[in-house]
Amino acid sequence: MEHIISVLVENKFGVLSRVANLFSGRGYNIESLSVAPTLDPSMSMMTIVTRGDDKIIEQIVKQLNKLIDIIKVVDLNETEFVERETALIKIHTRQEDRAEALRIADIFRGKVVDSTPTTYTIEVTGDVRKVEACIDLLQPLGIKELVRTGRVAIAREPVRQAAAQPRRVLKEEK
């Protein structure tokens, strides 16, 4: 099963390599990974999308916690969360396709961020299904280049206390 793991790390050199080493050394798979500093510039937040059964995910979370540069690990699948990904899609457009390209972009609330007589570059943001659906529809027109940010995710803040699921902070688990 797919899991999105949010990992708060020290913002210093070598940390990404430690995380990547952990996954490759133990044969775990990273489907996507995104990193950027948090409000506190001494820390970065990584969002890792990975796959595995419960036993593997438990090991991934524990192994991540064991790394000394990692401050906090949260398996977002334990709670409600919002995820987003952005794709920049450069499509090759013939004259007769240009209107169709814009229509598709519009359906997915995409924006044209660059335009030439023969290409459009469309920015689309959404959950992974939306981004992939947009890519699928644009594909017949001819995708020249495609870049995706990988997913970022954040836990939903509970609306009512009673309905709220306690978020498991695995670092402190005994």
Partner 1 sequence: MKLTGAEIFVECLKREGVKTIFGLPGGVVLKIFDVLHQQKDIEVILTRHEAGAGHMAEGYAKATGKPGVALVTSGPGMTNVVTPLVDAYMDSVPIVVFTGQVPTHLIGNDAFQEADNVGISRPCTKYNFLVKDVNDMGQIVKEAFYIATTGRPGPVLVDIPKDVAMNKGEFRYPDRVYIRGYNPTYEGNKWQIKQAVEAIQKARKPIIYVGGGAIFSNAQAELLEFAELTQIPVDMTLMALGAFPGSHALSLGMMGMHGSYASNMAVHFSDLVIAVGARFDDRVTGKVSEFCPEAKVIHIDIDPTSIRKNVHVDIPIVGDVKTVLQELNAMLKATPNGHSIEQRKPWWNQINDWKAKHPLTYVQPPDAMIKPQYVIDRIYQFTKDKDPIVSTDVGQHQMWAAQHFVLNKPHRWLTSGGLGTMGFGMPAALGAQAAFRDKLVLCIAGDGSFQMNMQEMATAVVNKLPVKVFVLNNHFHGMVRQWQDLFYEGRYASSYLDTVPDFVKLAEAFNAVGLRAKKVEEVDGVIKEALKTDKPVIVDIEVDPYENCYPMIPAGGCNHEMILEDPPEMKRGEKPVPKVAGEDKDAVLTA
Which residues are at the interface with partner 1 (CB under 8 A)?
9-10, 14, 17-18, 21, 25, 55, 58-59, 62-63, 65-71, 173-174
Q: Cα-flanking dihedrals φ and ψ of residue 159, to 5°? A: -80, -50
Q: How far is the CB of 118 from partner 1 (least distance, A)?
A: 42
17 versus 161: smaller Cβ distance to partner 1: 17
Closer CB to partner 1, residue 69 or residue 78? 69
User: Least distance to partner 1 from the beta carbon of 25, Å?
Assistant: 5
CB of 140: closest distance to partner 1 in angstroms? 45
Both structure tokens of 138? 């644009």
We find the least distance from the C-beta atom of residue 174 to partner 1, in angstroms, to be 4
Looking at the Cβ atoms of 64 and 104, the one nearer to partner 1 is 64
And the tokens for 90? 């450069």
Q: Which is nearer to partner 1, 67 or 135 (CB)?
A: 67
Least distance to partner 1 from the beta carbon of 20, Å? 10
Query: Residue 145 gets which letter from DSSP?
Result: E
Query: Quick one: 34 or 65, whose CB is closer to partner 1?
Result: 65
